A and B are shown apart, each in its own frame.
Chain A
């Protein structure tokens, strides 16, 4: 930039300010609001299986795989298996244990369901848009899944 003369430097500055100006304020606000997720205490469960992703890898099975969406989130302490049924999202916590499962849509709000003694739960209707699940087991384990869109 040392080599730019004054006019060029002013033009470059103007372009830099224009680039910032071109970004809608809501887009920036949404980014700032994401800080609410900072320092979540729960252990994170990462996506270790996604039927859609497998379909990408094996095109021949895509048709079958696409008919049932199945996902697995794994953390050190427990695994959450999910399947998209006709009008609900059904899941099971492994190892089986009762828990409170909270649906956290990215757009805000939350919705709680109970998982029974064998760790089964059902969320109706199937969540639209991106969401994550928080699982708080009766034994005190708290796990948060990564974000996912069905």
Chain B
């Protein structure tokens, strides 16, 4: 697990009562919590229940996290525990409704590194890097990521920039993204393929 200095700073600011830092943590990691809930195939209502449980546990413990940089892993573990809590509550009404493996209590010492966590951390880093790009890059890359992919003529018209500058600007913006400090921790790490093939899309 890499040590993301921005996470450490956010955790410290939350400790000082900074609601904006808290909001940024939620924005960053809500997709992680959400994706783990989906893996447990919870109903929407149960997902809301889990989410609440995770954030309330976090707000009470964030001041005492021994390793703030490990926050994403902590969140993944807490989310799994909350999912199991919700599933156990459901089991009281339907004792045979769950596969045996879900009845096992989670191992608190298990290293909370799994697929969702790795993917979610990369996603969060990419979004943070994207947020740091200037407005022009933001607008251009957003336009280029539209579905269906637009032609350069269309992008030129929408953004009011010459067709000839789109290609070079795109390359420059992506290079700036690639060099973002948010992504620095991923450059040396051996991580699975990033291009979406592993997510089953």
Contact = CB atoms under 8 A, between A and B. Distances in A.
Interface residues of B, number: 55
Interface in A5-35: 6, 8-17, 19-20, 22-23, 26-28, 30-32, 34-35
Contact of A44 (B17, B60, B178, B187): B60
A39 B63 CA distance: 9
B110 interface: no
Contact of A106 (B30, B52, B124, B186): B52
Given A28-B27, A35-B19, A39-B17, A17 B52 contact: no
B152 interface: no
A66 B94 CA distance: 13
A124 interface: no
Determine chain B's interface SS by DSSP, over half rule. Answer: helix
A2 B31 contact: no
Given A1-B194, A28-B26, A28-B27, A16 B123 contact: yes
B53 A147 contact: yes
Interface range on chain A (Cβ under 8 Å from partner): 35 or more
Given A17-B127, A23-B30, A12 B14 contact: no
B65 to A, nearest CB: 14
B113 to A, nearest CB: 18
Given A27-B47, A30-B55, A31-B51, A16 B130 contact: yes
B199 A15 contact: yes
**In the complex, which of the residues A6, A35, A37 has the most CB atoms of chain B within 10 Å of its own CB atom?**
A35
B183 A106 contact: no
Contact of B120 (A19, A31, A130, A149): A19
B56 A37 contact: yes
Contacts of A38: 14, 17, 22, 59
B176 to A, nearest CB: 11
B74 interface: no
Contacts of B187: 1-2
Contact of B183 (A1, A8, A34, A147): A1
A52 interface: yes
A30 B48 contact: yes
B59 A11 contact: no
B141 interface: yes
Interface in B56-108: 56-60, 85, 88-89, 92, 103, 105
A35 B57 CA distance: 11
Contacts of A52: 88, 92
A12 B126 contact: yes
B47 to A, nearest CB: 7
6 contacts: A6-B174, A10-B174, A27-B48, A28-B26, A28-B27, A38-B59
Given A1-B186, A6-B170, 7 more contacts: A12-B122, A15-B123, A17-B126, A30-B52, A34-B55, A37-B59, A37-B60
